[in-house]
Amino acid sequence: MIPVAKPLVGKEEIEAVRKVLESGMLAEGTVAHELEHEFATYIGTKFAIATSNGTTALSTALDAMNIQPGDEVITTPFTFIASANTIAMLGAIPVFVDVQRDTYNIDPDLIEKAITKKTKAIMPVHIFGMPCDMKQIMEIANAHNLLVIEDAAQAHGAAIDGRKIGSFGHTAAFSFYATKNMMTGEGGMIMTNDEEVYDKAMMIKNHGRGKEGGYSHHRIGYNSRMMDLVAAIGLEQLKRLPGVLTARRKNAAAYDKMCFELKGIRPQVAKKGFESAYHVYAPCLNSPKMNRDKMIEYLKQNDVGSRTVYALPCHKQDTYLNIRDWRWARFVKYPNYAALKLPNSEEVGAQHFEIPVHPSVTDQDRTRIEQLVRKVLS
Ligand SMILES: Cc1ncc(COP(=O)(O)O)c(C=O)c1O
């Protein structure tokens, strides 16, 4: 079976974890700070804040940007539910706008129509590692005085004209979940150039502790720290990342070629100058020869991992259909999510299927996957 995802772990990660175990300092300390420094250098921001996972990175960043109950944050529904949930957790309102049919990412032309007096921020999600159009998004944000938080959970190493994703917004959040291009098992990172946001985020993730440390606390916060034990894995993974990206891009280029040669299948499109991190490769299938669910079954029967990722966009999930049950619904007026019609998100949700693109997919594996797809669609 060629699995759909496979973490790359070698002797280096094992040795790094062993060293931390032997050091006696397992919780957050110098190793997490080293990862913050190295990752900020890699992405190209002044500051990075290590967190316990991508969800806490997003929620801490939103909190540090002062997103308040009742504020509206514009995002897309074709994403992992954490994007929307981190907005809702703070009592803010996720405002879903549709994605572009070809890039699966937020349609910048629809953002402006969704802006109201309550809009405070935009959360573009670089879905599957594909960069959103950050130039246009930042122009809209600046024109309307809105903050931008990039959900870069899937986009380690993605870039636009050489500039790394995670360096465009006022803040950005990465996830180092076990299957990500760069992983620590569970882990996350906030990026920012804004010292005030940095100071606030550092406090929020650590029970409001100030720089002086000890047991004086200045605001409500949480424990969203990253352990040195896992940060050590992250440092090794960061060294692997360029090679991982090269391998993923090579596999994706071959799959793209296949999709363009066949009828009834279309890939997620990278615009000129946009480099995806290809965390996920998931083309859309719309063919009389085979439907999406049968394609997944057929691939699995032939020992190729395949699945849908976000078959149900966020606005179709019970979480948002039942939002009146959420604690903030007593204070905040939510849109009627059930009435939302977001045709591109729904179409991509209904048609995409993931195939293995990770670095452990060999040339032979990829040829076999291509042969299977070609056989049914030719
Ligand atoms: C788009 C997106 N946002 C947020 C998250 C949340 O990250 P984590 O799972 O590390 O909490 C993920 C993780 O899978 C994600 O894919």
100 lines ligand 1 (CB under 6 A): no
Specify the number of domains making up the chain: 2
133: in domain = yes
Between the CA of 182 and the centroid of ligand 1 the distance, in Å, is 13
197: in domain = yes
Between the CA of 224 and the centroid of ligand 1 the distance, in Å, is 15
What is the domain-level CATH number for residue 58?
A: 3.40.640.10
Same structural domain, 30 and 165: yes
Domain that holds residue 100: 11-237
What's the Cα-to-Cα distance from 369 to each of 92, 294, 307, rounded to whole Å? 43, 15, 14
Same structural domain, 71 and 109: yes
Same structural domain, 247 and 185: no
CB atoms within 10 A of CB 326: 16
SS3 readout for 106-149: ECHHHHHHHCCCCEEEECCECHHHCCCCHHHHHHHHHHCCCEEE
Which of residues 183, 212, 237 is at a domain's end? 237
328: in domain = no
Residue-level pLDDT at 87: 98
Same structural domain, 223 and 248: no
In which residue ranges of the chain is pLDDT below 70? Answer: none
Which of residues 178, 211, 237 is at a domain's end? 237
Residue-level pLDDT at 21: 98
Same structural domain, 38 and 175: yes
Residue-level pLDDT at 77: 98
Same structural domain, 93 and 201: yes
Same structural domain, 184 and 84: yes
Which of residues 188, 206, 237 is at a domain's end? 237
Between the CA of 180 and the centroid of ligand 1 the distance, in Å, is 9
282: in domain = yes
Residue-level pLDDT at 171: 98
Residue-level pLDDT at 190: 99
Report which protein residue has its CA nearest ligand 1's atom 10. 54
Can you give the pTM of this predicted structure?
A: 0.98
* Burial letters 158-179, b for 16+ CB under 10 A, else e: bbbeeebbbbbbbbbbbbbbee
CA 370 to chain centre: 27
Same structural domain, 229 and 259: no
Task: Give the nearest ligand 1 atom to 154 CA.
Answer: 16
363: left (phi over 0), alpha (psi -120 to 50) or beta: alpha
Same structural domain, 286 and 225: no
Task: Give the nearest ligand 1 atom to 55 CA.
Answer: 11
Residue-level pLDDT at 213: 87
The best mutation among 56, 79, 80 to test binding of ligand 1, ranked by most ligand atoms within 8 Å of the C-beta, falls on 80
What is the domain-level CATH number for residue 274?
A: 3.90.1150.10
Residue-level pLDDT at 139: 98
- Backbone φ and ψ of 64, nearest 5°: -65, -25
Same structural domain, 295 and 262: yes
